[in-house]
Amino acid sequence: ANFSEQVVESFPSDISTGIYYGWACVGNGDVHKMVLSIGWNPFYKNIKKSVETHIIHTFKEDFYGEILSIVIIGYIRPEKNFDSLEALISAIQEDIEEAKRQLDLPEHLKLKEDNFFHLPEGKIVRR
């Protein structure tokens, strides 16, 4: 799930590029583990900074147009280039496994239940 350019531009300018982990919620649905990439994705030679969320969950249908709420909990590694698509895919899989391990820690697991994810119907809060 990629954030729009407008959302990317609203991120703090001093946030380091790289791979993060945390929690994500689509609309008023369940909260799932996620991995987040912030940067230029050098393998694809992007010229614009992007923020891409990989929700560690299989959805039954697309969720285009839904509100995606995320909470970034921790940092995995800096952004880097890869020699091949296979190396990139391997690194992504390692990032997902690290995120799963970290988010299973009690101090991170409790944040899944934060009120941030349980807003009254129709309310949008930006933090």
Q: What is the CATH number of domain 5-117?
A: 2.40.30.30
Band (50; pLDDT cuts 50, 70, 90):
confident
Q: Say yes or no to pLDDT of 21 above 90.
A: yes
Q: Say yes or no to pLDDT of 33 above 80.
A: yes
Query: In what order do the strands lie in the sheet containing 68-77?
Result: 50-55, 31-39, 18-26, 68-77
Q: What is the pLDDT of residues 64-121, one digit of tens each?
A: 888 899 999 999 999 988 899 899 999 999 999 999 999 999 999 999 988 888 766 5
Kindly give, in sequence order, each residue whose CB lies less than 8 Å from that of residue 92, ignoring residues fewer than 6 positions away: 35, 54
pLDDT of residue 121: 59
* Closest to 72 measured CA to CA, from 4, 13, 118, 19: 19
Instruction: For residue 52, indicate whether it is catalytic.
Output: yes
Largest interatomic CA distance in the chain: 46
pLDDT of residue 1: 84
Domain boundaries, the chain: 5-117
Cα gap 86→69, rounded to integer Å = 30
| Rounded average pLDDT over 21-45 | 88
> Which member of 5, 52, 66, 86 is catalytic?
52
pLDDT of residue 101: 98
Cα gap 4→97, rounded to integer Å = 27
* Closest to 42 measured CA to CA, from 18, 25, 61: 18
pLDDT of residue 108: 95
pLDDT of residue 98: 98
Tell me the percentage of the chain whose pLDDT exceeds 70: 91
